[in-house]
């Protein structure tokens, strides 16, 4: 009598971990993302790939991947609907107790799912589990730092709904979708992905679930996030009209949702303005329209920034401008930011001493100072 293999056993007990993987024109990268899923110590029970009407060879590549791995299911949109619609379609089709929303151009570490499922099975009160993500330049693989910029904890920790609200007063954006595993029922309960929120739909969803049910945080690298200039979130952040519109839509949703503290919208707006202004300063040349729109809220402020933008800003000038923006918006606690930077520095020093002969690999996590 033939003994059932692990995939057959998984199907017989029902899916436990679902992966939703949207794709649009990532034929050359999606194999890497799927390979990372296959390398998981605790493999997923189903992978739903939603191809959003790609115009390259993506569908052919995806169908080949599905032919080689029985847990892969393919949904092909006839027209391009956007990443959020693709995520929503995959969520609707999924069946797992836990769900991971992947990206075709990113990848995860082999022990990610095993750690997440173990913690959440032992602590079912939590709405999600998240770790840290290494940022790399999608063009050349160079390290761009680690996210979140401010850790909520330097050790594995659970934050209930009340503690999550307290954390929001000093920092934000600790939950990156690519480094988080959610309880699927909590995602559905929170309403899933709001199409009106565009690229912020996942960030809104993660914050809401954490504020309602709490979350587990593990200060370990679990994923790698590739940054591309043409990516959706970066495209919106570098367009003054789109960035303003998205901020207004996000604020309207947050203000109308009782899950969020009443004081949070004003703080969120400050952080959004700082984040987009920061991106406007670090690009070459300075993105003047975004900086004037998001970095100043008065005629005097716009006049000042306009004059600065006309100057030939070197590295020192940009640093001073970032410092002024920081003082203007005070986005996060400087103490908590400094603690995170120091903790990661010592972690890298400890790792280097433990493996003195290992040459740094710039395409891997933990080999560069934070962005």
Q: Tell me the CA end-to-end span of the chain in Å, nearest whole number.
A: 57
CATH of 15-228, one of 1.10.10.10, 1.10.260.40, 1.20.210.10, 3.90.550.10: 3.90.550.10
Backbone angles phi, psi at 39, to 5 degrees: -85, 0
pLDDT tens digits, one per residue of 272-300: 999 999 988 888 888 888 888 888 877 77
Strand partners, 69: none
pLDDT tens digits, one per residue of 8-55: 444 445 469 999 999 999 999 999 999 999 999 999 999 999 999 999
pTM: 0.88
What does the buried/exposed string (b/e) look like for 212-251 if buried means 16 or more CB atoms within 10 Å of the residue's CB? Answer: bbbbbbbbebbbbbbbeeebeeeebbbbbebbbebbebbb
Q: Where are the domains of the chain?
A: 15-228, 234-329
Six token digits for residue 43: 């493999």
- Find how far residue 278's CA is from the centre of its chain: 18
pLDDT tens digits, one per residue of 304-360: 777 777 777 788 888 888 988 998 899 999 999 999 999 999 998 888 777 665 444
Q: Are 32 and 141 in contact (CB under 8 A)?
A: no
Highest mean pLDDT among 137-146, 248-257, 340-349: 248-257
Six token digits for residue 303: 């006049």
What dihedral angle (degrees, nearest 10) is formed by the CA atoms of 255, 20, 31, 52? -70
């Amino acid at each position: 009598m033939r003994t059932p293999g692990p995939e057959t056993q998984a199907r017989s007990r029902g899916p436990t971990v679902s992966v939703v993987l949207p794709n649009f024109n990532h034929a050359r990268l999606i194999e890497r993302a799927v390979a990372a899923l296959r390398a998981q110590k605790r493999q997923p029970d189903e992978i739903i790939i939603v191809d959003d009407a790609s115009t390259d060879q993506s569908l052919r590549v995806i169908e080949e991947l599905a032919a080689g791995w029985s847990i892969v299911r393919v949904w092909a949109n006839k027209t391009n609907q956007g990443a959020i619609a693709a995520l929503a379609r995959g969520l609707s089709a999924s069946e797992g107790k836990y769900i991971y929303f992947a990206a075709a151009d990113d990848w995860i570490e082999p022990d990610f799912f095993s750690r997440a499922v173990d913690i959440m099975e032992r602590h079912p009160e939590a709405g999600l589990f998240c770790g840290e993500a290494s940022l790399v330049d999608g063009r050349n693989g160079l390290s761009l730092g680690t996210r979140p910029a401010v850790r909520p904890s330097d050790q594995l920790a659970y934050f209930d709904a009340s503690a999550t609200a307290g954390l929001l007063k000093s920092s934000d954006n600790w939950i990156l979708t690519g480094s988080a595993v959610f309880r699927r029922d909590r995602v559905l309960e929170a309403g899933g992905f709001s199409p009106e929120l565009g690229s912020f739909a996942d960030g809104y969803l993660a914050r809401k679930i954490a504020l309602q049910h709490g979350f587990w945080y593990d200060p370990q690298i679990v994923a790698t996030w590739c940054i591309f200039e043409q990516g959706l979130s970066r495209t919106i952040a570098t367009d003054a009209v789109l960035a303003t519109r998205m901020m207004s839509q996000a604020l309207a949703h947050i203000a109308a949702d009782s899950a969020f503290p009443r004081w949070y919208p004003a703080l969120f707006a400050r952080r959004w303005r700082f984040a987009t202004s920061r991106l406007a300063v670090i690009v070459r040349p300075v993105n003047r329209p975004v900086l004037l729109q998001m970095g100043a809220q008065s005629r005097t402020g716009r006049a000042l920034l306009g004059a600065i933008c006309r100057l030939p800003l070197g590295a020192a000038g940009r640093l001073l401008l970032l410092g002024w923006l920081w003082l203007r918006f005070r986005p996060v606690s400087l103490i908590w930011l400094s603690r995170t930077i120091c903790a990661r520095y010592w972690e890298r020093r400890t790792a280097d001493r433990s493996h003195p002969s290992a040459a740094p690999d710039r395409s891997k996590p933990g080999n560069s100072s934070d962005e």
